[in-house]
Amino acid sequence: MSDQSPRFALPFIVPGQAQKELFHNEALLRVDALLHLAVEEGPAAAPPPDPQEGQCWIVAAGAAGAWAGQDHGLALWSGGGWRFVAPQPGTTAWNKADAVPLQWTGSAWSGGEWRCAGLSVGGRIVVGERRPAVPSPSGGTIIDAEARAAIDALIATLMSHGLID
């Protein structure tokens, strides 16, 4: 059996281990950072000058100082020092500075978008795959300018929301 968890390297307590509380507390600190993960900002290339207890950042590639070598990882300030956790594909975080969600793809952090197959409300899909373009009304023997203007406005709105091409 390993001495740490497979996904986030949380330390296990092993039989006969001295100072078990240190390993247990380290695991709790990491769980505290990862559970409903929220980062101050990121990715950031350098540690902030005055981090507060429990704050977390995403480390940018090529980061300097205390963050050197921790590219794309999560940096947690706790106990007067930095703790680092490597994200796993699918790890999600709330970016407090930009008020957007971020997701680790395995090679990069996404930029504020959620990907899904559709959006359901009350068990009914209300937004699904993007549909093809809808043509503007034309032709006919009687032209109702107000109806055509309303339909054109509706089509423009659907297009601006990305629901149709």
**Other CB atoms within 10 Å distance of the CB of residue 73:** 18
**Other CB atoms within 10 Å distance of the CB of residue 62:** 10
Which residue, 55, 33, 39, 32, is CA-closest to 96? Answer: 39
Task: Quote the tokens at residue 21.
Answer: 């509380």
What 3-state DSSP class applies to 116? coil
For residues 114 and 147, the answer to whether their CB atoms sit within 8 Å is: no
Q: Give the separation between CA 130 and CA 160, rounded to whole angstroms.
A: 12
**Matching residue, tokens 């899909």:** 125
Which residue, 2, 57, 3, 11, is CA-closest to 31? Answer: 11
Which helix (H) or strand (E) is 81 found in, with range?
strand 81-85
Task: State phi, psi for 28 to the nearest 5 degrees.
Answer: -65, -40
CA angle 64, 66, 70 (to 5 degrees): 70
For residues 17 and 34, the answer to whether their CB atoms sit within 8 Å is: no
Question: 38-39 and 92-95 as β-strands: parallel, antiparallel, unpaired?
Answer: parallel
pLDDT in tens, the chain (165 residues): 677 777 767 777 777 778 877 777 777 777 777 778 899 987 999 999 999 988 999 999 999 999 999 999 999 998 779 989 889 898 999 999 999 999 999 999 987 777 777 777 787 777 777 777 778 777 777 778 888 888 888 888 888 877 777
* Overall pTM surpassing 0.85 (yes/no): no
Task: Tell me the CA end-to-end span of the chain in Å, nearest whole number.
Answer: 54
